[in-house]
Structure 1
């Protein structure tokens, strides 16, 4: 499977996600949160640092659950100012540009 390069908006969203998760985690250790969410501490570290800008939905859902944050709250924190819930549309346009 070939993965398309991330757009600048996706990279920025990943950084906002990492910032949000670090704030939501507060004083809890990264190890405790990761283990409670069923992911590795390394995965959580990469998400929080923005190195994994587009983590899988189940991963974000598990972390949000452990942190007591709703998915709506996560999206409200990480979406761009002009961003609607249409990230798939922007990926579709990117695929179309690459195919032409």
Structure 2
């Protein structure tokens, strides 16, 4: 199966996700976070830099758990602003 190229919106969402996860990691070493999440440090580096714009759900869930981030927060970051559900 050939994967379709990512859209500009998907790449932008991946960059937002990566930047947010990097911010959440804070001063923790990438190797520490990656191993705790069960992924390689290179995979974490690719996610944080936006080079891996669409990581698997299990990878995102593992990182969210290790970093103490709610999956709802990560979902909001990945949605384009016009697609955000209203809260009021």
TM > 0.5 between the two? yes
Paired residue for 1:62?
A: 62
**Secondary structure class of the residue paired with 2:9:** helix
Paired residue for 1:37?
A: 37
Equivalences, count: 85
Q: Give the unaligned 5+ runs of structure 1.
A: 86-100
Paired residue for 1:5?
A: 5
TM-score computed with the length of structure 2 as normaliser: 0.91
Q: Runs in 1 of length 4+ with deviation above 6 angstroms?
A: none
**Secondary structure class of the residue paired with 2:82:** coil
**Secondary structure class of the residue paired with 1:43:** helix
* Pairwise CA distance, 1:42: 0.3
* Pairwise CA distance, 1:84: 4.9
Whether the aligned pair in 1 keeps the contact of 2:76 and 2:84 (CA below 8 Å) is no
Root-mean-square deviation over aligned CA pairs: 1.3
* Pairwise CA distance, 1:82: 1.0
Q: Give the unaligned 5+ runs of structure 2.
A: none
Q: Does 2:46 correspond to 1:53?
A: no
TM-score computed with the length of structure 1 as normaliser: 0.81
Paired residue for 1:19?
A: 19
* Pairwise CA distance, 1:83: 2.2
